[in-house]
Amino acid sequence: MAGRLWLLGALCLLAAAGFVFYGVLWVVRYMQTHMKLALAGAVIVLGGCALAWWCCAGQPGGAAVELQVQPGQPLWSVARALEQRGAVRWAPALVAWMDLSGSDRRVQAGIHRFDGLESVFAAARRLQHAVPVEVAVTVPEGLVVEQVAAIMAAELHLDSARFVAACGTDSLLRSLGLEESSAEGYLFPDTYRFPPNATEEAVVRTMVARFREQYARVALDTLIGARFPQRDIVTLASIVEKEATLAEERGHIAGVFHNRLRLGIQLGADPTVRYALRKFEGPLRVSELNSRSPYNTRVYRGLPPGPICSPGLPALQAAAAPLATTDLYFVARWDGSGGHDFSKTLAEHERKTREIRRQNEQLLRELRRNG
């Protein structure tokens, strides 16, 4: 049986060799009788190969090209943009190769960088590995959690309700080293760069981590900052942030509050009442100023239960290193400057308050008379 299989294999091999031999003879004979046609075919084939190489090949050393691909952007649009910017020679060649190789389904949205004119093969590989586009988000000083959530909803399209909920999630706060019931006061105001797919929890983590970095500087650089509990410094700084319009008055206002805390006098800070009522604009009525919320520092001595906003670094530094002063009172001037008049005694404070009120009423009368 084995001998028969060997003989059959040998016969098949001889038959294949015969076909190859006669094929070669046919090609030689055809070329001898149709030389011009054969040459033309060769030229066409070689020319086609050269054209294909020119369309697909790159040229290293050119100017770098950067392209941002949007989510869901058609491949033809991407290829045309690369051709227009000089990253590939011919857009159809790139599209054809990516269709044939199946890489058209693996194009990533984001930023792609090309080293000048590249081959379609290199360009196709680059389109599969994007650098995520980062979104710059600026959070100013003095905002409450809900206001920060509104910014994140507008800039990152996050869910504001989920963001607020994340700020009150115990497990998240504990993992961030906060023994608080809320991240209020710890969403550090700064300019951040977030990926477009950032989650509510990731944003909270980033902002609290930035707070911890900045607060470490405050605690290490100042005696009070190292001696007082973090919550007290942040809470006082949040009140200073809301009271001080002028940067040069932060330390002075913080000094007044430190003096009142030491003497057991109510802080009397209206921003704490506004926080309790969630009334951030407009005048406060007498009934509102007498509210029984524990955040009302007109009624209760000492600091409120927690921060009333997220203070910036200057306010934290002022709370931790206040100006040495004997002043116990201050009142806004109402002259458009944003400044305050400071006093050492209640009598002096009341006199200045009456004078400022009188000037303000006189100004209002003049405005009504002229308007």
Residue given tokens 């020319």 in the structure block: 47
The pLDDT assigned to 114 comes to 83
Burial 230-251 (b: 16+ CB within 10 A, else e): bbbbbbbbbbbbbbbeeeebbb
Place of tokens 């942030």: 241
pLDDT digits (tens, 9 = 90+) for 267-285: 999 999 999 999 888 888 8
How far lies 323's CA from each of 27, 210, 252, 258, in Å? 101, 26, 5, 9
What gap in Å lies between CA 272 and CA 266, rounded to an integer? 12
The whole-angstrom separation of Cα 309 and Cα 259 is 22
Q: Is-contact 213 286, C-beta < 8 A? A: no
Q: At 22, is the pLDDT very low, low, confident or very high (cuts 50, 70, 90)?
A: low
pLDDT reported for residue 107: 84
pLDDT value at residue 104: 80
Residues 136-142: what's their mean pLDDT?
96
Residue 16, pLDDT above cutoff 70: no
* Terminal Cα-to-Cα distance of the chain (whole angstroms): 121
Per-residue pLDDT for 208 more than 90? yes
- Nearest-5° Cα angle at 170, 165 to 174: 130
Angle between helices 270-277 and 230-243 (to 10 degrees): 100
Phi and psi at residue 106, to the nearest 5°: -115, 15
Structure tokens at 269: 């800070």
| Structure-block tokens of residue 259 | 């003096």
263 contacts: CB under 8 Å, gap ≥ 6 = 328
- Residue 108 CA to residue 129 CA, distance in Å, equals 6
Quick one: angle between helices 313-320 and 230-243, nearest 10?
120
Name the 3-class secondary structure at 179. Answer: coil
Closest CA to 200 of 233, 235, 156, 238: 156
Say how far apart CA 315 and CA 246 lie, in whole Å: 11
Residue 49 has pLDDT above 60, yes or no: no
Average pLDDT, the chain: 83
Q: Round to whole Å and give the CA distance between 360 and 371.
A: 16
Kindly state the average pLDDT of the residues 347-357.
91
- Residue type at 354? R
Residues across the chain? 371
Give, as one character, the DSSP assignment of residue 184: T
Which residue ranges make up each domain of the chain? Answer: 65-126, 135-208, 327-371
pLDDT tens for residues 286-323?
A: 888 888 999 999 999 999 999 999 999 999 999 999 99
Measured distance CA(197)–CA(278) in Å, rounded: 31
How far is residue 166 CA from its own chain's centroid? 17
Distances (CA, A) of 52 to 40, 97, 116, 120: 18, 11, 19, 11
Residue with tokens 């003989």: 7
Distance CA 270, CA 216 (A): 29
Per-residue pLDDT at 81: 87
At residue 218, the pLDDT reads 85
Higher confidence at residue 31 or residue 349?
349
Residue 32 or residue 238, greater confidence: 238
Determine whether domain 65-126 maps to CATH 3.30.1490.480: yes
pTM for this model (two decimals): 0.69
